[in-house]
């Protein structure tokens, strides 16, 4: 990876550069303004000094006012049009003011700056006036030292304050940016530790993947990012735990029938047997194999649902007919155990859905009801339309489910521990598959149950999925139809 400056350093440099450029521009502008104002003030002073002197000199050519003047830092000369010095102030001992070779405007005041006069740097005003019919030029010069000193002082202050401001800006921005980014650094550390733990044995050993950050510190972008990270990590952790649990449970569940298959095959091969004994072994093997394939089929359905790939067909059908079919499929089993299957179904309920999956869904509840009902009891199946929804419910008079188990029954491989229950056919996947199918069909499942009072499972499906306008519902078919083992993969 290309090595770059840290974000903190880059932001610090950016702030310092922006502030530096702005400060420099402001300083230059204010320096130019100050210099202009100071010179304008000096020019004004020169004019104010010149005006009364010129007024005094104008009426009397014999006046020697200028010669008598001796004001510190102010120099006076009276010139004729040929630049001959007629009078000059007493402090011009080092020689006349050299006003330069530039032409003189006899009508207007002019300002000049003499940079290298014997009296230092001077600002000069040339004031032409008439004296007894002749043109005279009053020259007044003042030292620019005061103005220059102010400007030098300003420049010196700028040289101190500008770098100082830049330093303070850089330090403050580095501190502030560093403080603001600290949670990000923390997040990065934790995310990288989490990335390590996802694959390492650490998390498998029960260490949490992520220790949540205090998210309520701020409501700004960083605070929101922290909350999002906490949520993300929580979900990753839950998904990972679920995945690990699923793999562990699946392998555990698959191991039992495989062990039986292995054991029975070994036993059959150990010594010659009678055809009847081989037949019995093959029947057992077939039983275990069908259990295995049901479980694999169920796991496949669930993994497709997890990946959002469980694609259900959307065909027009009659829901009551699919339910009736499912009931007929389990009727022989119910009759064998003396269980009565009561049906209260609204008739001719057009619906759009996947017939195979819907039958599988209903069979899961019917199989469970049969499995857990005592002999000679009643199972009631109802189908009703209510508030624009379809409700199919399955009630049995079985042992019921305790409130401590109810929240878990839809989890994969969960089984209510029950003494003396025959769970040999139970894969613990039925309700998880039912829930996945119901969700895909846009529905929900509820369970009402209490120990000793039986159980009622209700599937609620949205009703707006009837046949599309102009499309006739399907022909009514004969009630009983067979489903494949895969269709009944429970």
Q: Name the residues that contact ligand ADP, by CB under 6 A.
A: 368-369, 372, 396, 398-399, 401, 409, 414-416, 426-432, 455
Q: Give backbone dihedrals phi and psi of 390, rounded to 5 degrees, phi first.
A: -110, 130
DSSP assignment string, 156-167: HHHHHHHHHHHH
Nearest distance in Å: CB 396, ligand ADP: 5
Q: Closest CB to ligand ADP belongs to which residue?
A: 430
- Cβ count near 474 (within 10 Å): 14
In the bound state with ligand ADP, the residue whose beta carbon lies nearer, of 87 and 395, is 395
In the bound state with ligand ADP, the residue whose beta carbon lies nearer, of 341 and 432, is 432
**CA-angle at 308, arms to 305 and 309, nearest 5°:** 80
Nearest distance in Å: CB 376, ligand ADP: 16
The H or E element containing residue 391 is strand 389-396
Nearest distance in Å: CB 247, ligand ADP: 18
List, in order, residues 6 or more apart from 165 with CB less than 8 Å away. Answer: 19, 23
Nearest distance in Å: CB 204, ligand ADP: 26
In the bound state with ligand ADP, the residue whose beta carbon lies nearer, of 57 and 369, is 369
- Cβ count near 233 (within 10 Å): 20
DSSP assignment string, 95-147: ------SS---SSS-EEEEEEEETTEEEEEEEEEEEETTEEEEEEEEEE-HHH
In the bound state with ligand ADP, the residue whose beta carbon lies nearer, of 46 and 292, is 292
Q: Give backbone dihedrals phi and psi of 477, rounded to 5 degrees, phi first.
A: -105, 170
In the bound state with ligand ADP, the residue whose beta carbon lies nearer, of 428 and 443, is 428
C-alpha span between 299 and 199 (Å, rounded): 24
Nearest distance in Å: CB 404, ligand ADP: 12
CB 90 within 8 A of CB 115: no
In the bound state with ligand ADP, the residue whose beta carbon lies nearer, of 210 and 372, is 372
**CA-angle at 332, arms to 330 and 337, nearest 5°:** 100
CB 145 within 8 A of CB 121: yes
Nearest distance in Å: CB 458, ligand ADP: 12
The 8 Å CB, 24+ separation contacts for 229-235 are: 229/187, 229/190, 229/191, 233/190, 233/194, 233/209, 234/210
C-alpha span between 192 and 479 (Å, rounded): 60
Nearest distance in Å: CB 338, ligand ADP: 17
In the bound state with ligand ADP, the residue whose beta carbon lies nearer, of 72 and 452, is 452
In the bound state with ligand ADP, the residue whose beta carbon lies nearer, of 337 and 385, is 337
In the bound state with ligand ADP, the residue whose beta carbon lies nearer, of 227 and 380, is 380
Residue with tokens 């205090």: 214
Q: Write b or e for each residue in 248-260: b if 16 or more Cβ atoms lie within 10 A of its Cβ, otherwise e.
A: ebbeebeeebeeb
Nearest distance in Å: CB 432, ligand ADP: 6
CB 319 within 8 A of CB 361: no
In the bound state with ligand ADP, the residue whose beta carbon lies nearer, of 127 and 433, is 433
CB 125 within 8 A of CB 46: yes
Nearest distance in Å: CB 462, ligand ADP: 24
Per-residue CA distances from 347 to 181, 320, 379, 443 (Å): 65, 6, 19, 20
Nearest distance in Å: CB 309, ligand ADP: 21
């Amino acid at each position: 990876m290309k090595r770059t400056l840290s974000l903190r350093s880059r932001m610090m440099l950016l702030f310092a550069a922006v502030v530096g450029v702005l400060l420099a521009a402001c300083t230059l502008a204010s320096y130019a303004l100050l210099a202009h104002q100071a010179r304008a003030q000096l020019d004004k002073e020169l004019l104010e000094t010149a005006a009364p002197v010129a007024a005094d000199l104008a009426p009397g050519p014999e006046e020697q006012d200028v010669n008598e003047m001796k004001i510190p830092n102010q120099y006076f000369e009276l010139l004729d049009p040929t630049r001959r010095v007629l009078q000059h102030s007493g402090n011009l001992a080092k020689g006349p003011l050299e006003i330069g070779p530039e032409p003189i405007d006899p009508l207007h005041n002019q300002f000049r700056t003499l940079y290298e006069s014997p009296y230092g740097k001077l600002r000069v005003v040339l004031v032409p006036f008439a004296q007894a019919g002749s043109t005279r030029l009053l020259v007044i010069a003042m030292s620019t030292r005061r103005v220059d000193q102010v400007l030098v002082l300003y420049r010196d202050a700028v040289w101190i304050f500008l770098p100082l401001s830049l330093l303070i800006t850089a330090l403050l921005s580095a501190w502030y940016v560093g403080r603001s980014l600290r949670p990000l650094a923390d997040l990065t550390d934790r995310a990288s530790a989490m990335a390590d733990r996802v694959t390492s044995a650490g998390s498998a050993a029960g260490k949490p993947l992520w220790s949540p950050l205090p998210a309520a510190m701020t409501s700004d972008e960083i605070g929101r990012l922290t909350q999002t990270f906490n949520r993300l990590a929580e979900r990753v952790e839950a998904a990972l735990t679920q995945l690990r649990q699923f793999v562990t449970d699946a392998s555990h569940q698959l191991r039992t029938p495989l062990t039986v298959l292995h054991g029975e095959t070994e036993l059959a091969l150990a010594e010659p047997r009678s055809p009847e004994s081989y037949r019995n072994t093959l029947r057992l093997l077939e039983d275990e194999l069908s259990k295995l394939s049901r479980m694999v089929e169920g796991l496949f359905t669930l993994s497709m649902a997890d990946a959002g790939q469980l694609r259900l067909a959307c065909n027009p059908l009659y829901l009551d007919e699919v339910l009736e079919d499912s009931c007929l499929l389990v009727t022989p089993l119910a009759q064998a155990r003396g269980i009565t299957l009561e049906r209260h179904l609204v008739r001719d309920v057009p619906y759009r859905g996947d017939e195979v999956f819907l039958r599988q869904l209903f069979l899961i509840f019917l199989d469970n009801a049969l499995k857990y009902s005592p002999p000679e009891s009643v199972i009631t199946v109802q189908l009703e339309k209510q508030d624009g929804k379809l409700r199919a419910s399955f009630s049995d008079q079985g042992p019921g489910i305790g409130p401590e188990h109810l929240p878990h029954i839809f989890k994969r491989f969960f089984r209510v521990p029950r003494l003396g229950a025959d769970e040999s056919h139970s894969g613990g996947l039925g309700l998880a598959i039912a829930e996945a199918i119901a969700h895909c069909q846009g529905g929900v499942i509820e369970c009402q149950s209490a120990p000793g009072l039986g159980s009622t499972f209700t599937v609620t499906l949205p009703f707006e999925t009837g046949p599309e306008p102009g499309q006739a519902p399907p022909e009514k078919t004969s009630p009983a139809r067979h489903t494949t083992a895969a269709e009944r993969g429970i």
